[in-house]
Amino acid sequence: MADLLTPQLNAETPVSDWLQARRLAGLAAWESSDLPTRKTEEWKYTSLFALQQPFMAASETAESAEEIGLELPQLEGSRLVFVNGFWREDLSDILPDAAIELVRFSEADPTQAALIVQHLGSVVTGNKHPFSALNDAVLADGVFFRILKGSKAACPIQLVWHNSHQADAAINSQRLLVLAEQHSEATVVEHFSGQGHSFTNGLSELILETGATLNHSRLHLESAEALHIGGLHAALERDATLNSFHVAFGGKLKRVDIVINHQGRGAHCQLDGMYLLRGQEHVDYHTCIEHAVPHCTTDETFRGIVGDKASAVFNGRIHIHPDAQKTRAELSNKNLLTSATAEVNTKPELEIYADDVRCAHGATVAQLDESMLHYLRTRGIPADEALVLLSYGFVNALVEKQRLDSLRGYLKPLLADYFGAALAVGSDDAAG
Amino acid sequence: MLSIKDLHAEVEAKNILKGLNLEIREGEVHAIMGPNGSGKSTLGHVLSGRPGYEITQGNVEFLGKDLLDLDTEERAHLGLFLAFQYPVEIPGVSNMEFLKASVDAVRESQGASAYDTVSFTRRAREACAAVDLDQGFLKRGVNEGFSGGEKKRNELMQMMLLEPRLCILDETDSGLDIDALQVVANGVNAMRSESRSFLLVTHYQRLLDYIEPDFVHVLAGGRIIKSGEKSLALELEAKGYSWLDEGKVA
C-alpha cells in the first residue's frame, strides 16, 4: 500500500494547516487499510494488478494544448484545466458570475476554507471507497465550487483533468467539492482525458442542499492505457434534484464508484451512464443509491457496448431503508456484446426494507434488435452499416436525454467517430 | 416490372402463401385486398426479405433480376420499397440521420453522389412538409413515440426521398383518420409516374377512393383467387369476402 504513496509524500509542496491535517489523517487511514482483492465482493470482477507497480509523482508541464492532445467541448462557460494534476492558468478561463464561487483549495479565502473543511469528506465514507484515504493523503489541490443560496449559475462549469505523456507511470489525484446551497441551480461537467498510461485517483463530492438542482456530467475520455479509480459521492437534501450523466470510453483499468445518498424527502436523482469498450479495456461501474428517507425517486439507466476482448462490470445497488416509504426507484442496465470474447458482468442489487415502494430493475446482455436491423436494410442501408447505426443509437439515446445542448453537440460526433459511422450528425440540429 | 410465379412461403413451419401469382407492369397501381390472415402482410415481408420467412417454392423477378436471390438492402438499391404496417422505432438515431444514411446508401449503390448536408436537409424538409409533419420530427428518434398516423406519414416521407421504382404499401391506411388518409393518398398520387408502380395492400376499400388502382386482386388462403378492375373493390365492400370463399369451395 505504501509503495503507491512514497513519491507523493516526498514531494514537498507547501500546504495550509487544514490541508496538512487532512493529509495526515488520510495517510493514517490508508496505511491501516488493505488494497481490495478479487476476494473482496465489491472487487470480484476487477483486478487491481495493474496498480501493483511503483508510480512516480507527476510533474508540472508547460506543454501546449496541442502538444498534449487536449480537445475540449465548447461549453461557453468557465473552465478550469489541470494538466498532470497541476492547474494551468493559461488553459483555464474563469468568467465572473455573482451566483457562484469557483476556487482552488490552495486559493480559498478563510470563509471558503472553513466551508471546505466542514464539507470535504462529509459525503464519502471510507468503507464505501477505500481509495478516498489515498486521495486525502496526497491532497495538494482541488476545486471548490459553491453555488450561492437561491442563485442560478449563468453558464455550465467545466472542470478538466488531463494527463500528458509526461505523466506516464505517474499517479495524479483529482478532487472536487460542489456545494449547491438551498434552491440553487448549476451545471458542472467533469472531463477526464489524456494521452498515456497515468493513474488517476479521482474523487468528487456533491452536496445538494434543500431544493437545489445540479446537472452533472462526468466524462471519461482517457486513453486506452489509462488507469482510473474514481468516486462520485452525492448527498441530496429535501427536494433536491441531481441529474448525473456518465460516459466512459475504455481504459486499461477504470473503476468508478457512484454513491447517491437520498437524505431529505422528495429528493430525485436521474443517473444515466454509458461505457464503450474495445481491445482489452476494462471498465467497472459500481453504483449505490441509498434511500434513507421517504418520497424520494431514482431513475437509473446504464448502457454498455463491449467488443473485442474487453470486459465490463456493472453493479447497481439500490438500498431502500425501513423508513423510506413511497420510494420509487428504477434501474436498467443493457449491454451489447459485439464479439464472442467480450465479457460483461452485470448485477442489479435491490435491498428493500420498506413495504410501500415501487421498485423495478432489469439487466440484459443481448445482441442488436433483428427487427430494427431489417427495417434499416429495407431502406438500403447495408447490414454492417446498419449495425453501426444501431450501436450508435443504443447509447446515443442516453445522450439525447441530456439537457445541455453543447454537451450533446460534443458527444454525438464523438460517438459517431467511435463507431466509424458516416452520420449526418449535427444536421438534425440544422433542421430545427 | 414485378413478376411473381407460384410463390409458396412459410413462417414458423406454417404455410402462408400457397401458389401466389402476380404481374405488375411499369406505371401500374395494383391493390391487393383480402380478409385477415389471408397472407397480405406476408407478401410484403417476403418481398422485402424479412428473416424468418422461408420461400419453399416459386420465383419472383424484379426488373429482370431474381429478387429472392438478393439481400434486403440490394432489393432497396434496385428500387423496391416497403412501407411497413408497423414501422419500427429506433431510439437514439434521429430521423435525419436515418434518412441521410438511407438515401446516401441507395444513391451510392446507383452510382450517384451523396447529397451534401445542406441540400439534403432542404429536401428532407420539403418531404416533411409534403406529408404534413412538423419539422421537429426530423430531429426526433426514428418513429420514437410517434402516433400511428405519424409513423405512416414518416414511411411516406422515406418513400418520397428514396424515389423507388416499386412501392409496396402494407396497410398504410389502417389506423388513419380521413385527413391523414388524404395526405398519404396525395403523396402517392403525386409520385405516380409511367416508370413507377405501386402495390397497395389493404383491408378496406376506403383507400381506393383516393388512390385509383388499375387492378384489384383478392388474396385468400395464400393465393389470389380473383382479379379485376376498380369495380371489384366496390363489390367487395358491398358483399364482404365470404361470397368468394363460397365460390372457391363450390
Residue B247's pLDDT is what? 47
> Measured between alpha carbons, how far is A61 from A123 in angstroms, rounded to an integer?
32
- Which residues of B are less than 8 Å from A368 in CB distance? none
Higher pLDDT: B128 or B246? It is B128
Residue A411's pLDDT is what? 93
Q: Are B24 and B30 in contact (CB under 8 A)?
A: yes
Pick from B50, B92, B96: which is nearest to A393 by CB? Answer: B92
> Measured between alpha carbons, how far is B65 from B68 in angstroms, rounded to an integer?
9
Residue A4's pLDDT is what? 60
Does A424 touch chain B if contact means CB atoms closer than 8 Å?
yes
A421 pLDDT exceeds 80?
Answer: no
Instruction: Encode burial over A104-126: b for 16+ CB neighbours within 10 A, e otherwise.
Output: bbeebeeebbebbbebbbebbee
The mean-pLDDT minimum among A170-184, B2-16, B90-104, B224-238 falls in: B224-238
Q: Degrees (nearest 5) of the Cα angle B123, B126, B129? A: 150
Suggest the residue from A378, A400, A402, A419 to mutate for an interface test with chain B (most B CBs closer than 10 A). Answer: A378
Q: Could you report the per-residue pLDDT of B96-152, keeping only the tens digit for each? A: 999 999 999 999 999 999 899 899 999 999 999 999 999 999 999 999 999 999 999
Task: Determine, for residues A429 and B95 on separate chains, whether the beta-carbon distance falls below 8 Å.
Answer: no
Pick from B84, B91, B100: which is nearest to A427 by CB? Answer: B100
- Point out which residues pair with B23 in neighbouring strands: B3
Kindly report the average pLDDT of chain B as a whole number.
Answer: 91
For residues A210-223, give the mean pLDDT.
Answer: 96
B210 pLDDT exceeds 80?
Answer: yes
Count CB neighbours of B1 within 10 A. Answer: 18
Residue with cell 498534449: A68
Count CB neighbours of B21 within 10 A. Answer: 14
Does B163 touch chain A if contact means CB atoms closer than 8 Å?
no
Alpha-helix residue ranges (DSSP H) falling in A182-236: none
Q: Are A244 and A271 in contact (CB under 8 A)?
A: yes
A332 pLDDT exceeds 90?
Answer: yes
Residue A428's pLDDT is what? 42
In the structure, what pLDDT confidence band is assigned to residue A71 with cuts at 50, 70 and 90? confident
Q: Degrees (nearest 5) of the Cα angle A296, A316, A191? A: 90
The mean-pLDDT minimum among A20-34, A218-232, B133-147, B195-209 falls in: A20-34
For residues B228-247, give the mean pLDDT.
Answer: 76
In the structure, what pLDDT confidence band is assigned to residue B53 with cuts at 50, 70 and 90? very high
Q: Could you report the per-residue pLDDT of A107-129, keeping only the tens digit for each? A: 999 999 999 999 999 998 766 67
Pick from A380, A427, A429: which is nearest to B76 by CB? Answer: A380
* Max CA distance (Å), chain B: 62
ipTM value, please give it.
0.95
Instruction: Give me the total of CB pairs closer than 8 Å, taking one residue from chain A and one from chain B.
Output: 123
- Which residues of B are less than 8 Å from A428 in CB distance? 94-97, 138-139
Task: Determine, for residues B121 and A431 on separate chains, whether the beta-carbon distance falls below 8 Å.
Answer: yes
Give B177→chain A minimum CA distance, Å.
25
Suggest the residue from A375, A387, A388, A395 to mutate for an interface test with chain B (most B CBs closer than 10 A). Answer: A375
- Burial grade of A292 (CB within 10 A; 0-12, 13-18, 19 or more): middle
For residues A150-163, give the mean pLDDT.
Answer: 95
* Percentage of residues in chain A having pLDDT higher than 90: 66
Residue A431's pLDDT is what? 37
- Report the chain A residue with the minimal C-alpha distance to residue B82: A378
Kindly report the average pLDDT of chain A as a whole number.
Answer: 90
Does B97 touch chain A if contact means CB atoms closer than 8 Å?
yes
For residues A59-65, give the mean pLDDT.
Answer: 85
- Report the chain A residue with the minimal C-alpha distance to residue B95: A428
Count CB neighbours of B3 within 10 A. Answer: 16
Residue B106's pLDDT is what? 95
Query: Which residues numbered 347-386 in A keep a CB inside 8 Å of some CB on B?
Result: 370-372, 374-383, 385-386
Task: Determine, for residues B88 and A377 on separate chains, whether the beta-carbon distance falls below 8 Å.
Answer: no
Task: Determine, for residues A390 and B93 on separate chains, whether the beta-carbon distance falls below 8 Å.
Answer: yes
- What are the grid coordinates assigned to A401, written together? 436525454
Residue A63's nearest CA partner among A163, A190, A161, A172 is A163
Pick from B50, B102, B121: which is nearest to A381 by CB? Answer: B102
Residue B40's pLDDT is what? 87
- Which residues of B are less than 8 Å from A399 in CB distance? 92
